Amino acid sequence: MPSPAEQRAGDALIALIKTEISNDAKDVFKEEDRYSKVLAHLVAPFNPNMMDYNTTVDRCTIQWGYGRKRDVLAREWYTFKTRAHEGQHMWDWPWLKWVYGLPHLLLLGFLVPFFIFGKLWALYSFAMLLGGLGLGYIMPFKKWWFFSWAGLGSAACATFTIWKTHWAAVWLGAGALCASPAFNWLGAAAGRAVGEIRGYTISMAVNYWRYGSVLEETEDWIVKQFTSSAYYFMLPWEWLTRWVLRRRKKLLESGAIFKQPWANKVYSIMQEQGIAQNRVYPK
């Protein structure tokens, strides 16, 4: 059972989100949400555990993973940490929507010449891309197979289109490369990585403020989120992800994290409820 202080902190965080971000903020539970069920089917080839594993946010709506309803209603410590993470995404949304959305719009742009110049080469190259992706999905948890086959399909598509037609085909080739899991970090994944780094920084910060450290197991778990299919391979190099996380941990240790408004507000709630260690940070 959560302590009274944890429950009060959870209530205070909900109130903060409603007053500082949006009064329309709400919780939904994936097992009761039709949108989540449809999305789960779409991402099943690379993330079959989306319903029961991931808690996500859609602007100001937190979509809690399957089976989390009891924890949320009881205001468990887990839900405070998760709400703080998702609250960072909500706080960032005014600028993050462009970082998230623009790469996706660019990916859609490659479909334009396909419909305008609907020739046999376009159908063939698009089929090559789909074939490569399909082969990658056969073994989604064997990363090198996934990357190799998906990359092969994308490379075939790009090569064939540029060889066979004029400049418009470059959009098709570039879009195919960015849409492929093998090169996803060139396209939409870049925006996701920016947002998730900020979100997971708050996740680490909440643990650090309460317990005085971030466990190595926690860092390993976060690395897996970035490098695996959970977020569509948004930062597929483990060494790079660890380097970024270690730089973010230095923000916690130095107190520089408090330059970020949302982190300051979450820490203030924890202090007020007596669940944060008192720290003297270097100036």
Chain segment 157-208, per-residue pLDDT in tens: 666 656 655 555 555 555 555 555 556 666 667 778 888 999 999 999 999 9
Greater confidence, 92 or 188? 92
* Mean pLDDT score, 4-11: 91
CB 125 within 8 A of CB 180: no
Confidence class for position 209, pLDDT limits 50, 70, 90: very high
Task: Quote the CA–CA distance of 152 and 11 in Å, as a whole number.
Answer: 50
> Per-residue DSSP letters for 191-246?
HHHHHHHHHHHHHHHHHHHHHSS--HHHHHHHHHHHHSGGGTSSS--HHHHHHHHH
CB 79 within 8 A of CB 206: no
User: By C-alpha distance, which of 215, 199, 195, 194 is closest to 83?
Assistant: 199
Confidence class for position 11, pLDDT limits 50, 70, 90: very high
Task: Quote the CA–CA distance of 258 and 205 in Å, as a whole number.
Answer: 10
User: By C-alpha distance, which of 106, 81, 263, 252 is closest to 170?
Assistant: 106
Farthest CA pair distance, the chain? 68
pTM (2 d.p.) = 0.77
- pLDDT (0 to 100) of residue 136: 53
Terminal C-alpha separation, the chain: 38
Q: Which two tokens stand for residue 197?
A: 């780094």
CB 131 within 8 A of CB 149: no
* DSSP conformational letter for 47: -
- pLDDT (0 to 100) of residue 201: 95
Domain ranges for the chain, please list them: 76-283
Strand partners, 64: 29
- pLDDT (0 to 100) of residue 88: 95
CB 261 within 8 A of CB 91: yes
